[in-house]
Amino acid sequence: MSELPNAPIEIDGNVWRSRVEQMLVAQGQRLTAPRTAILAWIAQSSAPFTAEMLVAELADQRHASSRPTVYRTVDWLRNTGWIARVQSDGHEHTYARMLPGHYHHAICTDCGTTLVVPGCEALQSLTSLLADEGFEVRGHILELFGVCRVCR
């Protein structure tokens, strides 16, 4: 992903989908009809979603995805970094599309648009502040939440 530009970019749903499918195939998994339907739905989703929303939305399709298939696919996507939890409401988690790897994301909590912020420059001043205190930073996690240009 070294081709990322040096400014925040939005994750395109179709690009996301083709990359996920490439990884599935690379891992020797099959692109079954239910799986394809799940990925297609997530790719066109313009808002954060829950696993139960997927179950309900896909119930009418010809290749209906069973609840276990939906939950297994959501788990796989989360474990491989293609989606991340953006909100948790009791027992239900809301997810948004992500890119795997070390990126920082800015997520719109209204529509689920996710911007990828390349690089870690923003954290360097914090790292050196901590170094002044004798603390050696060895890693970080940073997600930003807010409201995108359209939703404002």
Comparing CB distances to Zn ion, the nearer of 13 and 34 is 13
Reading the block at residue 109, the tokens are 């909590």
Mark out the alpha helices in the chain (DSSP H runs).
13-26, 33-44, 51-58, 67-79, 124-132
Please select the residue that binds Zn ion; options are 9, 53, 106, 111, rule is CB under 5 A: 111
Number of residues that bind Zn ion (CB under 5 A): 7
Q: H or E stretch including 140?
A: none
Q: Which residues, 6+ apart, have CB-to-CB distance to 145 below 8 Å?
A: 86, 106, 107, 109
Reading the block at residue 37, the tokens are 């339907």
Comparing CB distances to Zn ion, the nearer of 31 and 120 is 120
Please select the residue that binds Zn ion; options are 38, 84, 108, 116, rule is CB under 5 A: 108
Please select the residue that binds Zn ion; options are 9, 110, 118, 143, rule is CB under 5 A: 110
Which residues, 116 to 145, sit near Zn ion by CB under 5 A?
120
Instruction: Give the residues lining the site for Zn ion (CB under 5 A).
Output: 108, 110-111, 113, 120, 148, 151
